[in-house]
Amino acid sequence: MARSTADVETTRSAGAPPPSPSGKEVGLTADGTGSPLGLLFKILALGLFAAVAVFACIPLIRTERWVWLAVVVVVTVIAFWVYLSPRPIPLKYLLPGTLLLLVFQVLPVVFTVSTAFTNFSDGHRGSQEEAIAAIEGASLQRVPDSPVFSLSVATQGSDLAFLLLDPDTGDTFVGTEDGLDELQGADESDGTITAADGFTVLTTAEVAARSEEVATFTVPTDDGVIKSQGVSIAYVGAPQQTYDPACDCITDAVTGEVWTADGDVGSFVDADGNALAQGWQVNVGLENFSRVLTDPTIRASFLRIIVWNFAFAIITVVITFALGLLVALALNNSRLRGRTIYRSLIILPYAMPVVAMYLVWREMFNTDFGLINRMLGTEINWFGNTASSMIAILLVQLWLGYNYMFLVITGALQSIPADLTEAASVDGAKKFYSFRTITFPLLLVALAPLLIASFAFNFNNFSAIYLLSEGAPFSPDNPAAGATDILITYTYRLAFGGAGADYGFAAAISVFIFLIVGVISVVGFRQTRALEEVN
Amino acid sequence: MAQVVLDKVNKKYDNGFHAVQDLDIDVADGEFLVLVGPSGCGKTTALRMVAGLEDISSGTLRIGDRVVNTLSSRERDIAMVFQSYALYPHMTVFDNIAYGLKIRRMSSTEIEQRVRKAGDMLELGHLLDRKPKQLSGGQRQRVAMGRAIVREPQVFLMDEPLSNLDAKLRVQMRAEISEIQRDLKTTTLYVTHDQTEAMTMGDRVALMKAGVLQQLGSPQHLYDHPDNIFVAGFIGSPPMNMAVARLIRSDGLSLQLAETVLPIPESVVRARPGLARYVDRDVAIGIRSEDMEDASLARDDAPESRVRAKVALTEALGSEIVVHFDVAAPKPVTADTKALDKDAQTSDVPVAHRGNVFVASFGPRSRVRPRDDIEIVVDRERIHFFDPDTGHAIRD
Amino acid sequence: MAIIGTQAGPALSTPDDTPPPYEVVELGGAQGGWFRRVGWSHLVGILALAFSLFPIVFVVSAALNPVGTLSSSTLFPTQVSLVNFTDTLAGSFPRWFANTLIVGVLSAGVAMFISASAAFAFSRFRFRGRRGGLLSVLLIQLFPQFLAIVALYLIFTEITDVWPAIGLNSIWGLTLLYLGGALGVNTWLMKGFFDTIPKDLDESAKVDGATHSQIYFGIILPLVRPILAVTGLLGFIGAVNEFLIASVFLTDDRAKTAAVGLYGLIADDQTRNTQFGLFCAGAVLLAIPTVLLFMYLQRHIVGGLTAGAVKG
């Protein structure tokens, strides 16, 4: 949606301002902003924008994200040009929306698709260098015969430092990111350093607060690195598994095992094909997609999920429509008193906060304490069995959705003139027959776009599944895919479920959802003629 | 107050449509000029170019002594009345009228004063607190007028302001607008497709067809001396009767109209030297309905002015009798007549479907009946002559 | 994103108030006994009412149940006490509630304004790239934002490193995200409505001397208030009900929205029973603004503000 200057040239006929009287091309009043209030607002808005942009740049410079920085600068320049120049009037109205849509709607989709072609997951996050560092770091072993130091964690300014005491020799050292130095004039007591000039020794609580930092802090030495073990001991360690650039492989010094880097899968692999847990992110092409279609376990679950996903959405639409229609017809009776009261109470569920109501329903279906089991006198584990889990979910969907259908059907019924059915009655048609042959088809035509929208919404109704059954029940052969999972909950579990996150695969499932939504939309377009509105 | 000059103004759209071609119009200071023509003739486009709502593709537009081609609407000091009135639904009548003044940051006392004055002039005083949807069509029209008047602009632009009113109200508002314009002496450019409005309201009338100006002059001049068949057919109700006749020489020039021979008076031939070129050729002739009379009512006419015809239909209107009769001579067919036929189909003027039917208005004492064979006296001094191919009037 | 409505699109029709211009199709008969005339209507109505209301009655009863456990909660209250409410208000709930209000009001309000601006441009100006832009909006609004949850999470992980204020565990980041997600649908809905406002109004104002911004703020915005109300209120309700993104983004108790917070209250088997009363009290409190807004929305969707103002 980005536009160049040339794009907006043609707008002069529609809404072009005059060349400003002063002849200025760019300036605060160049587009005819005349009123003092408008001018003030404009100055404030642009000033605020500039301030935010500057603040946004600071961390970018600090962390050396030059591409991001360039984007922020370019966007700021464009914004100032758009709002200070008289020409690009449509852009003045489109720019904020365009930027936000690009960042929060288009970019995520693009990023999803690109992630789908990678092996991005726990264990395959960063570059190969980062993977090597992690492998070496994880295999650190104490160098035999090296001293075990007594450790005091301290700070020098804001930087961490290890104050070390060799209990055998009584020597004191200071270890920083840069290396190990002798330490003079340290106060000792009970075999640990309690104070030193220029350093602040941290208390146990303070160390605990920075425990993660302390755990990964290493002091480089000639023999390896000094590393903490707990909060009071440190030792000189050397990696047991080391990387050799010559063979592009990792060798275990003790066992002699060798893992060679495989750029295709982003892992170090030994001769038997076993990979080290820590790998790196690589492009795997269509691997994630082909896994869905070829891996028998995944394929079986995936197909089952798709079938249930469609069934779930279609049945939801059908039953909500059917009940909504019945109630709408019943209440659409001019001789019925109290129609308004019926109507406003029946649609109440539609107004309730859905997340909370899904959870309430889940608890009503609770096996041990749930209202439904207590009222029925049963002990059904509703979400422990595929059929009952599905029935429970659909019942809740009916409760939540039929009132909306009732609302729109009532509206649609009022737009169908009675003389159509009266004409049929004169023909000797029975009331129900005329309803079936005239009113109902007209209703369907009128509501088709809404039904498609309802289907599309429910197709990705994450809350309905996740908050009720969480996909349960699960079969033992594929604990990642439950019997009532739909695609979006499956994606969610792959990425954020308890077991290791598999972002690449989850993104590939998302791409499948995109494709399905796209197809549904084409059908929807045919019905709603939305495309005709693009003019 | 100011004059408005359009000098070779063109409007060409991106898709190549040439909506207005080389339009030359000058509206004198204080003049009421009506731009008239069938729908799609470019009259509204021309008006919108003057208003600054459309770009001018080429040519010069002057208001007063300024060239305003590149100025925005707000800098042109004009006011416009829209066909839809374009009243702001969320504002009261007062606010609607005052809007243009508020935009220009006029003091509130001055606004109040001007709105009250305009309200009184248009008899809207008691409606100032209402919203537009609470008003009748005629009242809305007045508010739209008030919005223009209160601005005291150099030029009024009006785009078919009466077309949404019923017939009776239209006649009344026609008179009111004319009166207001005469009082204020504001230069006015008025667009309409209704030739009656053009005839009754305009100091001068500019008639357009397919983006091209056909004739510009006083209403009477256009009526009496149309430059071409299109002007002749568009101005006047009922439209001018047209037929193809042969110009023959017999004791001077005569017209052979089917079997009848109509001698052309010497004075007419002298006034139109160009006729000589058409001897023994076809010409298109036009006769207005009022230039024909029932022979039994005409006293001192020459017998050679008479034409025999069979009456098809009569409409007695009291003050006159409108008589339809068939004429054996064909209608002329030119680009102009095609444009007129097309316009007639979209307006409420009935179309003569078969043959060539003339319409004459006879005096109220005529006793003709349908299917009578009658004699009609034609005022031969007032026959119009056109080239049957180009449609241009034959003069020099 | 699908923060529009809870089931499908917005319900724009208002069956109440406005009588249809002609007689309406009815199934009931004028003849026959009481049951055939109105009795069956009452029967269906009462059954529908019972179905609609019983979970709501149960929540309210559980919220009023002083024991506060799931196992002791009954459909109708046996004892009434406000202890769950006072406990809820003493805990994190007020903070979650405030977060929800901030995220909802801010994202819906700003999205409403930005979408209205874009719709104004699409409806009122002719510029190159307009058709392409509209098609993009149409396309984008089909894909609910949360479908890209994986990418959103990865993107925001990066953002958290750079700008923690709008990253994960920040309601400001979530607000921005909802804001961006609502724009497509809003713009598309609004553009259609803007197109129904006659262009003559803009042109008249323009001839009267108004600038494009005066036309936008002074003429157009007041006339599109119905659609602003619809998109704004639906956006708010959508943000209140959004769970997927919020649950991924907000793990810090202080940053949670009410939906995520309430979910957390009864997340594990232990608390599920014991904190059910607290949860229900929170649910009832959360329902108050959404139900009120819904009632307001119902009454307020009256189109045709311009009807009758243009043309006679």
Question: For C227-261, what is each residue's pLDDT tens digit?
Answer: 888 888 888 988 999 999 999 999 999 999 999 99
pLDDT for the residue B337 = 84
pLDDT for the residue C17 = 42
Mean of all residue pLDDT scores within chain B: 89
pLDDT at A11 over 70: no
Q: What is the dihedral of CA B211, B217, B220, B226, to 10 degrees?
A: -50
pLDDT for the residue C309 = 28
Query: How close, in Å, is residue A172 to chain C by CA atoms?
Result: 37
Which of A221-230, A304-313, B58-67 comes out lowest in average pLDDT? A221-230
Nearest residue on chain C to A454, judged by CA atoms? C8
pLDDT band at A215 (very low <50, low <70, confident <90, very high): confident
Closest residue by Cα to residue A82 from A34, A48, A47, A31 = A31
**Subunit contact C152:A404, Cβ cutoff 8 A:** no
Residue B395 resides in a domain: no
Residue of B55, B74, B75 lying closest to A13 (CB–CB) = B55
Name the residue with higher pLDDT: A13 or C263.
C263
Of B229, B259, B276, which residue constitutes the final position of a domain? B229
CATH number at B67 reads 3.40.50.300
Flag whether residue A479 sits within 8 Å of chain B, measured between CB atoms: no
Specify whether the backbone of B331 is left (phi greater than 0), alpha (psi in -120 to 50) or beta.
beta
Residue C268 resides in a domain: yes
The residue-averaged pLDDT of B203-226 equals: 94
Residue of B14, B55, B72 lying closest to A18 (CB–CB) = B72
Query: CA-to-CA distance for C41 and C34, rounded, in angstroms?
Result: 10
pLDDT for the residue A439 = 84
Of B229, B249, B270, which residue constitutes the final position of a domain? B229
In contact, B232 and B70? CB cutoff 8 Å:
no
pLDDT at A269 over 90: no
Query: How close, in Å, is residue C220 to chain A by CA atoms?
Result: 13
Most confident of A279-283, C9-13, C219-223: C219-223
pLDDT at A4 over 50: no
The answer to whether residues B294 and B275 belong to one domain is yes
Flag whether residue C203 sits within 8 Å of chain B, measured between CB atoms: yes
Residues in chain C within 8 Å Cβ distance of A7: 127-129
Which of C65, C69, C127 best probes binding to A when mutated, by most A CB atoms within 10 angstroms? C127
The answer to whether residues B217 and B268 belong to one domain is no
**Subunit contact B133:C209, Cβ cutoff 8 A:** no
Residue B377 resides in a domain: yes
The answer to whether residues C177 and C234 belong to one domain is yes
The residue-averaged pLDDT of A375-390 equals: 92
Residue C265 resides in a domain: yes
Which of A317-321, A413-417, A500-504, C126-130 comes out lowest in average pLDDT? A413-417
Residues in chain C within 8 Å Cβ distance of B151: 208
**Subunit contact A12:B74, Cβ cutoff 8 A:** no
In contact, C247 and C53? CB cutoff 8 Å:
no
**Subunit contact A332:C149, Cβ cutoff 8 A:** no
Residue B325 resides in a domain: yes
Interface ipTM: 0.87
Residue C229 resides in a domain: yes
pLDDT at C3 over 60: no
Query: CA-to-CA distance for B262 and B251, rounded, in angstroms?
Result: 11
pLDDT for the residue C265 = 92
Paired sense of beta strands B306-316 and B321-327, if any: antiparallel
**Subunit contact B72:A16, Cβ cutoff 8 A:** yes
Residue B109 resides in a domain: yes
Which of A211-225, B89-103, B163-177, C166-180 comes out lowest in average pLDDT? A211-225
**Subunit contact B147:C200, Cβ cutoff 8 A:** no
Residue C291 resides in a domain: yes
The residue-averaged pLDDT of B8-29 equals: 93
Which of B72, B76, B106 best probes binding to A when mutated, by most A CB atoms within 10 angstroms? B72
Question: For B253-284, what is each residue's pLDDT tens digit?
Answer: 888 887 888 889 888 888 898 888 998 999 99
In contact, A268 and A445? CB cutoff 8 Å:
no
pLDDT for the residue C230 = 82
Residues in chain A within 8 Å Cβ distance of C70: 363, 366, 369-370
Flag whether residue C53 sits within 8 Å of chain B, measured between CB atoms: no
**Subunit contact B132:C308, Cβ cutoff 8 A:** yes
Residues in chain C within 8 Å Cβ distance of A327: 44-45, 48
pLDDT at B77 over 80: yes
Query: CA-to-CA distance for B229 and B392, rounded, in angstroms?
Result: 7
In contact, C195 and A101? CB cutoff 8 Å:
no
CATH number at C260 reads 1.10.3720.10
pLDDT band at A141 (very low <50, low <70, confident <90, very high): confident
Query: CA-to-CA distance for C253 and A202, rounded, in angstroms?
Result: 28
Chain A, chain B: beta-carbon pairs less than 8 Å apart? 13
Domain count, chain C: 2
One DSSP character per residue, A24-75 reads -SSSTTTT---SHHHHHHHHHHHHHHHHHHHHHHHHHHHTT-HHHHHHHHHH
Give the N- to C-terminal CA distance of chain B in Å, as an integer: 39
pLDDT band at A32 (very low <50, low <70, confident <90, very high): low
The answer to whether residues B166 and B294 belong to one domain is no
pLDDT for the residue C302 = 36
The answer to whether residues B55 and B197 belong to one domain is yes
Mean of all residue pLDDT scores within chain A: 83
Query: How close, in Å, is residue B194 to chain A by CA atoms?
Result: 29
Query: How close, in Å, is residue A237 to chain C by CA atoms?
Result: 30
**Subunit contact C200:B80, Cβ cutoff 8 A:** no
> What kind and span of H or E run contains B187?
strand B187-192
pLDDT at A253 over 60: yes
The answer to whether residues C258 and C169 belong to one domain is yes
Of C25, C52, C81, which residue constitutes the final position of a domain? C81
**Subunit contact C9:A453, Cβ cutoff 8 A:** yes
Which of A270-279, B15-24, C150-159 comes out lowest in average pLDDT? A270-279
Question: For C100-159, what is each residue's pLDDT tens digit?
Answer: 999 999 999 999 999 999 999 999 998 999 999 999 998 888 888 999 999 999 999 999
Domain that holds residue C150: 87-300
Query: How close, in Å, is residue C103 to chain A by CA atoms?
Result: 15
Residue B202 resides in a domain: yes
Residue of C28, C48, C127 lying closest to A346 (CB–CB) = C48
The answer to whether residues C65 and C146 belong to one domain is no
Nearest residue on chain C to B155, judged by CA atoms? C207
Close Cβ partners of A48 (under 8 Å, ≥ 6 residues apart): none
Query: How close, in Å, is residue C35 to chain B by CA atoms?
Result: 46
Query: CA-to-CA distance for C129 and A14, rounded, in angstroms?
Result: 15
Flag whether residue B55 sits within 8 Å of chain A, measured between CB atoms: yes
Which of A52, A91, A105 best probes binding to C when mutated, by most C CB atoms within 10 angstroms? A105
Query: How close, in Å, is residue B350 to chain C by CA atoms?
Result: 26
pLDDT band at A25 (very low <50, low <70, confident <90, very high): low
In contact, B334 and B342? CB cutoff 8 Å:
no
pLDDT band at C75 (very low <50, low <70, confident <90, very high): confident
The answer to whether residues B307 and B182 belong to one domain is no
pLDDT for the residue B1 = 62
pLDDT for the residue A425 = 57
Question: Before A349, cis peptide (omega within 30)?
Answer: no
The answer to whether residues C147 and C290 belong to one domain is yes
**Subunit contact C201:B73, Cβ cutoff 8 A:** no
Question: For A68-103, what is each residue's pLDDT tens digit?
Answer: 999 999 999 999 999 988 878 899 999 999 999 999
The answer to whether residues B215 and B287 belong to one domain is no
**Subunit contact A18:B54, Cβ cutoff 8 A:** no
Residues in chain C within 8 Å Cβ distance of B139: none
Question: For A186-208, what is each residue's pLDDT tens digit?
Answer: 788 777 888 888 888 888 888 88
pLDDT at C6 over 50: no
Query: How close, in Å, is residue C291 to chain A by CA atoms?
Result: 5
Q: E strands within chain C?
A: none
pLDDT band at A479 (very low <50, low <70, confident <90, very high): confident
Flag whether residue C312 sits within 8 Å of chain B, measured between CB atoms: yes
Query: CA-to-CA distance for A367 and A247, rounded, in angstroms?
Result: 59
In contact, C238 and C2? CB cutoff 8 Å:
yes
Which of A9, A10, A11, A13 best probes binding to B when mutated, by most B CB atoms within 10 angstroms? A13
Question: Domains along chain A?
Answer: 5-116 (no CATH), 140-239 (2.40.430.10), 294-533 (1.10.3720.10)
DSSP state letter for C142? T
Of C49, C81, C113, which residue constitutes the final position of a domain? C81
pLDDT band at B48 (very low <50, low <70, confident <90, very high): very high
pLDDT for the residue B36 = 94
pLDDT at B349 over 50: no
pLDDT for the residue C51 = 94
In contact, C262 and C282? CB cutoff 8 Å:
yes
Instruction: Extract the tokens encoding A442.
Output: 């007209």
pTM of the model: 0.83
Question: For B232-253, what is each residue's pLDDT tens digit?
Answer: 999 988 889 999 999 998 778 8
Of B208, B229, B250, which residue constitutes the final position of a domain? B229
pLDDT band at B229 (very low <50, low <70, confident <90, very high): very high
The residue-averaged pLDDT of B181-194 equals: 93
The residue-averaged pLDDT of A454-458 equals: 90
The residue-averaged pLDDT of B22-34 equals: 94
Close Cβ partners of B105 (under 8 Å, ≥ 6 residues apart): none
**Subunit contact B99:C307, Cβ cutoff 8 A:** no
Query: CA-to-CA distance for A164 and A234, rounded, in angstroms?
Result: 8
The answer to whether residues B202 and B288 belong to one domain is no
Question: For A355-381, what is each residue's pLDDT tens digit?
Answer: 999 999 999 999 888 899 998 988 899
The answer to whether residues B152 and B197 belong to one domain is yes
Question: For C19-31, what is each residue's pLDDT tens digit?
Answer: 444 555 566 555 5
Which of A163-167, A264-268, A420-424, B382-386 comes out lowest in average pLDDT? A420-424
Domain count, chain B: 2
pLDDT for the residue A219 = 84
Residue C5 resides in a domain: no
User: What order of strands is seen across the sheet that includes strand B282-287?
Assistant: B260-263, B253-257, B241-249, B282-287, B384-386
The residue-averaged pLDDT of B300-313 equals: 82
pLDDT band at A18 (very low <50, low <70, confident <90, very high): very low
pLDDT at C8 over 60: no
The answer to whether residues C185 and C273 belong to one domain is yes
Domain that holds residue B219: 4-229
Residues of B with CB under 8 A from a CB of C: 51-53, 72-74, 78-80, 82-90, 99-100, 103-104, 131-133, 136-137, 140, 147, 151, 157, 164-165
Percent residues over pLDDT 90 in chain B: 61
pLDDT at C301 over 70: no
Residue C254 resides in a domain: yes
Chains that touch B (3 or more CB pairs under 8 A): A, C
The answer to whether residues C118 and C143 belong to one domain is yes
Residues in chain C within 8 Å Cβ distance of A488: 146-147, 149, 244
Specify whether the backbone of B296 is left (phi greater than 0), alpha (psi in -120 to 50) or beta.
alpha
The answer to whether residues B56 and B190 belong to one domain is yes
Nearest residue on chain A to B75, judged by CA atoms? A18
Name the residue with higher pLDDT: B385 or B299.
B385
Nearest residue on chain A to B14, judged by CA atoms? A10
**Subunit contact A17:B14, Cβ cutoff 8 A:** no
